[in-house]
Structure 1
Amino acid sequence: MLVSFNWLKDFLNLDEQDPKALGEKITRTGVEIASVTRPADGLKKLVVGHVVDCEGVEGTHLHLTHVDVGEDEPLQIVCGAPNVAAGEDVIVALHGARIAGNEKIKKGKIRGMESYGMICGLQEIGFSDSVVPKKYADGIFVFPKDADVKPGQDVYDALGMNDYILDFDITPNRADTLSMEGSAYEVGAIIDQKPKIEPVVLKEDGPDWTDSFDVKVDEKLAPKFYLRKLTGVKVDESPLWMQTRLWNAGIRPINNVVDVTNYIMLLTGQPMHAYDARAFESGKFEVRTAKDGEKLTLLNEKEVDLDPHDIVITDGEKPVMMAGVMGGLNSEVTDDTTDVILESAIFDPTMVRRAAFRHANRTEASSRYEKGVNWDATEKSINAAALLIRNEAGATVDEGIIKATDAKRGPVVVKTTVSYINKVLGTKISADEMLHIFDRLNFDAKVNGDELVVNVPNRRWDIAIPADLVEEVGRLYGYDNLKSTQPLLPETHGGYSEFETQMRRFKRIAEGQGMLEAVSYSLTSPEKAVSFTKKAKALVQVQMPLNSSRSTMRQNLMTGLVDAASYNFARKQMDLRLYEQGRVYDHEGGTFNEHEHLAALYAGQTFAENWQHENQKIDFYFVKGQLTNMFTALGINENDVIYKADEAIPGMHPTRTADIYIKDQYVGMIGMLAHSLALADKNLRGHEVYGYELDLDVIIPMLTHGMTAKPAPKFPAISRDLSILVKKEYTNQEIENVIKANAGKYLRDLKVIDVYSGAHIEPDKKSLAYNLTFLNEKDTLTDEVVTKAMDQVTAALKEDIEAKIR
């Protein structure tokens, strides 16, 4: 549940509460706040603009507009949105503005026309596609006529972006916080305030309608089922204040009738539904289980085969709604609807949950029904909805409520003792303190000696046994105030230092690339000790060596890996991927110094020999690619890494070796072993051996962050191939720029899969084939969206580079 901090202020005095600190308090009392966010963060220079004039640019989809942004002169802005028009109040990103994705807006030229800003859609300033009203989904946002906005003022307050959104990550037992009123009770208990929950006063100004409908409801399916009727409804978009509260709660505004039902659901936790009264011209209303073979097209245009265990609402014959889940398209409130029937009900939670999962159609309503709904809010909700629709849609409220079923549920009475609660918590809380805690919760509680009797209201259906009261007392008393009774024992804390942790990152990445770890001797010969080093340092020599080949401490790790390669080649192991992380030593400056290095060695084929693919030898660029991947995984920007040819590193090939610099600091080398080294060792002859060595002492202090991982997409990608014929003068980069500029935000990957120029096409042209992969990480991507993007790409290719689509 996304809870608006500003909306909470309607119920509580939060003037002295910091939203993030409040989120921490709530988390510490048992309801986790996953995040506290402010939509306006990171944005700047977004203002209201009034479009003074708007003219289409001939031969393009562009419009040349002049927009009043509160300055001396209107700004000229080129806009490509289809719904831009004179007289509109819009969102304008000025020169120097920051929009979503930290993108900076600058003045520039479009098709030769000066543009001094950008007219924005909601998605471009950070709104999710799922909450943007459909009429603005493919264009700019236009402020409703009722919006109190003026040119030049910031848009954040008007769009609800200066609000703080608390994400209540609730467990199923705390579904009472799936409403603003429930959240207000919870927050009020935490900060010791009584929430202001106002009663609904509804004036019925239409004729009695209750005798005009024959309503049949199975009480087992719907123990409470209320209906109201409104006439003379004028369907339009909702006022901006309501839209902002809906999209801040993650709900897309639809119209001023549907939005009211969603608004009341957020307010009270009671799911509601509005029907076009024309769907019930039969005068019948029936709640039953579905029959075999019945179908229903839902509001999301998904046709479902109803199951005999689904609860449905019918017009006496055909279903018009899957109860508790989603309404049917045949009873939808549309722009020409004039009479509306409101429904507020309690449905069997188990049947609703199973229906939602059975048809893969879980909704905000079904998630509430399956967890539980406050039985005391049913009538209040339908009256509040009727009141809002009358105020916002000019409706007349007909007299009377049809209460087809009206089962009652009284408060739960839980008895326990003060001593029992103190024993479980290990506390010495007095009876008066406990009474105050229950008063903060708005529970009616009484103490008689040691006995404690608590009347739990219906809005807290999660409390039924004494243990539940223990939890309530403990969490509001404060878990931090509970004394620890665990024995205190001496303990030695282990772990790695920050530097050691970073070294292990290098090793994990190398192993992830398929490398095998080698461990070689730290002692070697004086000649090998200084091989593979750009600048030899003073040697560390052993006073009493066992033999001449083990007399000196190494200054590089590559020597040991080359010895390991020779050993493996002698035993017919030709494909090698070895790495070693260890120390090298010197006596520079008269002191003994140790440095951490990492080295890798490659030889043979990129893949094991297999009939399914062609063999490919490891070369310089393969090893460089492996190293680049390692740097990327470590969070090193590849633009900071520079490779410079080096002909003078002992033991390395003079024309296939490079020094590695990060931010102009030398960190190591990469390249191929010299032929002279291979000739000196018969086991190395005929082999091309590549490797690199890095100085971790230099690199690790540069690491500020690693690669940020995220879960694999939950939704499938869609791939499309595109083949074009273009003039040879156009580069692949130019073509890709056109594709990326027009493929939309869901383009995830673009790659060339074929290039051809030859006898079958004109000599001055070439044929290229591309594979485009589209992915929406937040929803299932449809063929319609991808086809639209591909049409935009092909149109742009034809227009911009005169491409022929093959």
Structure 2
Amino acid sequence: MLVSYNWLQDFLNLDQDPKDLAEKITRTGVEIASVNHPQEGLKKIVVGHVLDCKAVEGTHLHLTHVDVGEDEPLQIVCGAPNVAAGENVIVALHGARIAGNEKIKKGKIRGMESYGMLCALQEIGFSDSTVPGKYVNGIYVFPEDAEVKPGDDVYQALGMDDYILDFDITPNRADTLSMEGAAYEVGAIVNEKPQIENVVLKEDGPDWTSELDAEVDEKLAPKYYLRKVSGVKIGDSPLWMQRRLWNAGIRPINNVVDVTNYVMLLTGQPMHAYDAKTFKSGKLVVRKAEKGEKLTLLNDKEIELDPNDIIITDGDKPVMMAGVMGGKNSEVENDTTDVILESAVFDGTLVRKAALRHANRTEASSRFEKGINWDNTQKAIDIAALLLRNDASATVNAGEIKATDQTRKPAVVKTTVSYINNVLGTELSSDEMVKILDRLCFETQVDGDQLTVTVPNRRWDIAIPADLVEEVGRIYGYDNLKSTQPLLAETHGGYSEAETKLRRVKKVVEGQGLMEAISYSLTSPEKAVRFTMNPKPLAEVEMPLNSARSAMRQNLMTGLVDAASYNFARKENDLHFFEQGRVYDHDNDTFNEHEHLATLYSGSIFEDNWQHKNEKVDFFYVKGQLEDLFEAIGLDENKIEYKAAEINGMHPTRTAAIYLDGQYIGMIGMIAHAVTMADKALRGSELYGYELDLDAIDATLNKGMTSKPAPKFPAIERDLSILVKKDVTNSEIENVILANAGKYLKNLKVIDVYEGSHIEPGKKSLAYNLTFLNEHDTLTDEVVTKAMNKITEALMNDLEVKIR
């Protein structure tokens, strides 16, 4: 979770450097992955007031004059579609530094002087995913409630003066997935009690509870509360709330949706808001889905519900997948006036499986699956109603529907002072332990050596004495625990003879240009013996997590084929993989392990280039690579023999068994079409590789890369063919392309050059391949098309090229 340092100060009197605080938090058990200061690296970015705005005829540009608090307004040329007179905007002055360390200078645009830049939020470092929707494709305009004036730095107004601590929590510490939970944690570390305010809600509307009959399965939702607010005026949230949302990585939507997200960040309790018209039948039912039911989610994704999904219905059709995401048919829209708020506790296991099943994991589902504080269900719904009254002119109707209302008593854990000291190796007194537990806001009773600790519901991860040992140890300080030397036999450094041989083999294979892959040792029984010449009895797991991880592998090739499928699905088709690891069997009623080496090749031997003929990987190329390896590790090629063989999973006519002095040591060949056709990502591909039993050639082995993982998101390639004068150089063309392609262009290369009788005299034809990639988000065709349009326009204007 992204935790705002400024927001933390609402709960605690923090007076220390945020980075020092992050170090303290990490040393007590909750890792801080990073500390981000949004305004770092930026300068001379201020608030400006647009005095006038005139469209430049024949262009998309506007000529503006902007008051930036100086003696004279600045003339600035702006291409944003939403710039208008009277707006307060973000201005990067001459000499400013914006995101990417880009410097802004005064200059001329279409012959017009421009003394700065009107900025979009993305241009000063905001992520696309957090920018309010109406400002995604334009400049940011401060709302009317923003207390800004021309010349002010924008950093405080936009929350960029904050420090954002990234709490990289383990699943058992989900209590810190809220600001209140983070405040309790940080308060314990700095020895200060957090100030957590209770909410007092005054109901000022008529009773509404008779309008809706809520029928809820207690097993699916042990707590389920509803409130209604009416007279809502949909609009933007106040700037202070938007700041807190986007600093937490959440895009502001409107004042109703933002309130539910804000309350979730504050309390850890996920919430949902329905348009009250959804339940005009007067019925609300929480149940499991029926086979064949469908729901269109808020992200416009239509799903077919599973019988194990928890859903909320209007008595007839589904309107929400509980704990995951709401339905489009119950969405709060601009014309919504009455809203029903939901605060509930859903079965975390079913929510987790539903989110995974439909590939729709959300902030809400991640909290339900890890657990939430049952004590905050009431508080959250009351805060939401109060905020809607304040920010959306809502009337809070009297009454609350509590369809289910199970209670959870605080855990009571009994232990002893001596037990904790014995485990930690400390000599703490009972008073010292009580003080530590008090810092965590745990109520403790002492009876001699006995400790009885009452743990509040917000810390549902604590249930046994060992949990208390961990809490005392980390708050006391791991650095304060005495270091003792373990009594172990003396060992000598360096690699063993066997390790040296293995590293020698890996070094040679890496030198051939292959990247190392690491795959699971557990697989399915079918895959365990696939690609194996002589399968042996399986080494199977007694209680597997699932059938796909129930047997130990007898080959490495199956893991490489899975890795190829993963990469092909992300448009990475030129692959050169290897894996060195162990395979397992249960031959002769004993469990055996063997060292193997496997490689897998696909696609082109060399990167595409117009200067040479493209060559595809084939059997003989891979055989040449293998022979180079044999030569490097000292195998006598005269003693090696290749024989045609039929091996499960390998191509029947492009596979050979490898023998050394008549002993089988491995195989080489092409993956069978039956295997590739069964995998959607691999259909139509040709995969070649080999696998060696290193134990079988151990006596001949001589003694003796860091790789970048495939992007999580797919790249988009576009080709560009142009006709240009012969005297225009490739460097000039590439400079124009790079200057106008935007930040997502990752690769640019020439793929064709032609001069001849089929084109105009004095000109040449060039073709380029452009690869666009956003490593942090899915890149859309709309973004790439916009970049390509900008490139072609610049080429035509600057170099007089003709787009073919």
| TM-score, structure 1 as length reference | 0.73
Is 1:190 matched with 2:189?
A: yes
Compute the RMSD of aligned alpha carbons. 2.6
Is 1:785 matched with 2:783?
A: yes
Number of the residue aligned with 1:769: 767
Runs of at least 5 residues in structure 2 that lack an aligned partner in the other structure: 495-505, 515-604, 607-611, 616-704
Number of the residue aligned with 1:390: 389
In structure 2, how many angstroms separate the alpha carbons of the residues matched to 1:208 and 1:133? 35
In structure 2, how many angstroms separate the alpha carbons of the residues matched to 1:266 and 1:509? 52
What's the secondary structure of 1:22's corresponding residue? helix
Is 1:758 matched with 2:742?
A: no
Q: Deviations over 1:746-798 (max 9, x none)?
A: 22212221122322222243322221111111112223332333344344444
In structure 1, how many angstroms separate the alpha carbons of the residues matched to 2:42 and 2:614? 52
Is 1:27 matched with 2:14?
A: no
Structure 1 residues 708 and 198 mapped into 2: Cα distance closer, same or farther (>3 Å)?
A: farther
Letter in 1 for 2:162: D
Structure 1 residues 788 and 303 mapped into 2: Cα distance closer, same or farther (>3 Å)?
A: farther
Cα distance, 1:132 vs structure 2: 1.0
Number of the residue aligned with 2:548: none
**Match runs of 1:573-584 below 5 Å:** none
The number of residue pairs the alignment matches comes to 611
Structure 1 residues 280 and 473 mapped into 2: Cα distance closer, same or farther (>3 Å)?
A: same
Q: Percent identity?
A: 79
In structure 2, how many angstroms separate the alpha carbons of the residues matched to 1:180 and 1:457? 17
In structure 1, how many angstroms separate the alpha carbons of the residues matched to 2:706 and 2:41? 20
Cα distance, 1:382 vs structure 2: 0.5
Number of the residue aligned with 1:110: 109
Q: Deviations over 1:565-618 (max 9, x none)?
A: xxxxxxxxxxxxxxxxxxxxxxxxxxxxxxxxxxxxxxxxx99xxxxx8699xx
Q: Deviations over 1:4-56 (max 9, x none)?
A: 111001001112x2211111111111111111221111111111111111111
Is 1:8 matched with 2:23?
A: no
What's the secondary structure of 2:228's corresponding residue? strand
Number of the residue aligned with 2:669: none
Structure 1 residues 490 and 798 mapped into 2: Cα distance closer, same or farther (>3 Å)?
A: same
In structure 1, how many angstroms separate the alpha carbons of the residues matched to 2:280 and 2:122? 41
**Match runs of 1:411-426 below 5 Å:** 411-426=410-425
Letter in 2 for 1:73: E
**Match runs of 1:109-128 below 5 Å:** 109-128=108-127
Number of the residue aligned with 2:734: 736
Cα distance, 1:234 vs structure 2: 1.1
In structure 1, how many angstroms separate the alpha carbons of the residues matched to 2:763 and 2:29? 68
**Match runs of 1:286-301 below 5 Å:** 286-301=285-300
Q: Deviations over 1:719-771 (max 9, x none)?
A: 12222333445433333334334333222212221122322222243322221
Letter in 1 for 2:745: L
Is 1:54 matched with 2:53?
A: yes
In structure 2, how many angstroms separate the alpha carbons of the residues matched to 1:429 and 1:225? 44
Letter in 1 for 2:194: P
In structure 1, how many angstroms separate the alpha carbons of the residues matched to 2:250 and 2:24? 27
Letter in 2 for 1:97: A
In structure 1, how many angstroms separate the alpha carbons of the residues matched to 2:352 and 2:155? 38
What's the secondary structure of 1:745's corresponding residue? coil
**Match runs of 1:300-339 below 5 Å:** 300-339=299-338
Number of the residue aligned with 1:239: 238
What's the secondary structure of 1:744's corresponding residue? coil
Cα distance, 1:479 vs structure 2: 1.1
Cα distance, 1:113 vs structure 2: 1.2
Cα distance, 1:490 vs structure 2: 12
Structure 1 residues 216 and 11 mapped into 2: Cα distance closer, same or farther (>3 Å)?
A: same
In structure 1, how many angstroms separate the alpha carbons of the residues matched to 2:708 and 2:510? 21
In structure 1, how many angstroms separate the alpha carbons of the residues matched to 2:308 and 2:488? 58
Cα distance, 1:431 vs structure 2: 0.9
Cα distance, 1:712 vs structure 2: 3.5
What's the secondary structure of 1:361's corresponding residue? coil
In structure 1, how many angstroms separate the alpha carbons of the residues matched to 2:723 and 2:362? 47
What's the secondary structure of 1:257's corresponding residue? helix
Letter in 2 for 1:232: G
Number of the residue aligned with 1:84: 83
In structure 1, how many angstroms separate the alpha carbons of the residues matched to 2:71 and 2:183? 46
Number of the residue aligned with 1:38: 37
Q: Deviations over 1:617-664 (max 9, x none)?
A: xxxxxxxxxxxxxxxxxxxxxxxxxxxxxxxxxxxxxxxxxxxxxxxx
Cα distance, 1:225 vs structure 2: 0.8
Q: Deviations over 1:264-284 (max 9, x none)?
A: 100000001111122222221
Q: Deviations over 1:319-343 (max 9, x none)?
A: 1111111111111112221111111
Number of the residue aligned with 2:721: 723
Number of the residue aligned with 1:268: 267
What's the secondary structure of 2:255's corresponding residue? coil
In structure 1, how many angstroms separate the alpha carbons of the residues matched to 2:440 and 2:69? 49
Number of the residue aligned with 2:249: 250
What's the secondary structure of 2:383's corresponding residue? helix
**Match runs of 1:196-215 below 5 Å:** 196-215=195-214
Q: Deviations over 1:484-524 (max 9, x none)?
A: 232589999989xxxxxxxxxxx999974769xxxxxxxxx
Number of the residue aligned with 2:68: 69
Letter in 1 for 2:36: T
In structure 2, how many angstroms separate the alpha carbons of the residues matched to 1:45 and 1:709? 39
Which of 1 and 2 has greater Rg? 1
Cα distance, 1:163 vs structure 2: 0.8
In structure 2, how many angstroms separate the alpha carbons of the residues matched to 1:161 and 1:155? 8
Cα distance, 1:185 vs structure 2: 0.6
Number of the residue aligned with 1:468: 467
In structure 1, how many angstroms separate the alpha carbons of the residues matched to 2:507 and 2:42? 38
In structure 2, how many angstroms separate the alpha carbons of the residues matched to 1:267 and 1:708? 41
Structure 1 residues 464 and 615 mapped into 2: Cα distance closer, same or farther (>3 Å)?
A: closer
Number of the residue aligned with 2:680: none
Q: Deviations over 1:670-726 (max 9, x none)?
A: xxxxxxxxxxxxxxxxxxxxxxxxxxxxxxxxxxxxx99854311111112222333
Structure 1 residues 731 and 223 mapped into 2: Cα distance closer, same or farther (>3 Å)?
A: same
Cα distance, 1:802 vs structure 2: 4.4
Q: Deviations over 1:40-93 (max 9, x none)?
A: 111111111111111111111111111111100011111111111111111111
In structure 2, how many angstroms separate the alpha carbons of the residues matched to 1:199 and 1:712? 48
Structure 1 residues 32 and 95 mapped into 2: Cα distance closer, same or farther (>3 Å)?
A: same
Letter in 2 for 1:743: A
In structure 1, how many angstroms separate the alpha carbons of the residues matched to 2:490 and 2:115? 65
What's the secondary structure of 1:781's corresponding residue? coil
Letter in 1 for 2:337: T
In structure 2, how many angstroms separate the alpha carbons of the residues matched to 1:204 and 1:762? 80
Structure 1 residues 79 and 710 mapped into 2: Cα distance closer, same or farther (>3 Å)?
A: farther
Is 1:160 matched with 2:145?
A: no
What's the secondary structure of 1:754's corresponding residue? strand
Structure 1 residues 90 and 467 mapped into 2: Cα distance closer, same or farther (>3 Å)?
A: same
Letter in 2 for 1:231: S
Structure 1 residues 30 and 761 mapped into 2: Cα distance closer, same or farther (>3 Å)?
A: same
What's the secondary structure of 2:77's corresponding residue? strand
Number of the residue aligned with 2:692: none
In structure 2, how many angstroms separate the alpha carbons of the residues matched to 1:438 and 1:74? 60
In structure 1, how many angstroms separate the alpha carbons of the residues matched to 2:119 and 2:72? 20
Number of the residue aligned with 2:620: none
Cα distance, 1:205 vs structure 2: 1.0
Structure 1 residues 263 and 414 mapped into 2: Cα distance closer, same or farther (>3 Å)?
A: same
Q: Deviations over 1:239-275 (max 9, x none)?
A: 1111111111111111111111111100000001111
Number of the residue aligned with 1:94: 93
Of stretches 366-375 and 93-102 in structure 1, the one that deviates more from structure 2 is 93-102
In structure 1, how many angstroms separate the alpha carbons of the residues matched to 2:273 and 2:513? 60
Is 1:357 matched with 2:384?
A: no
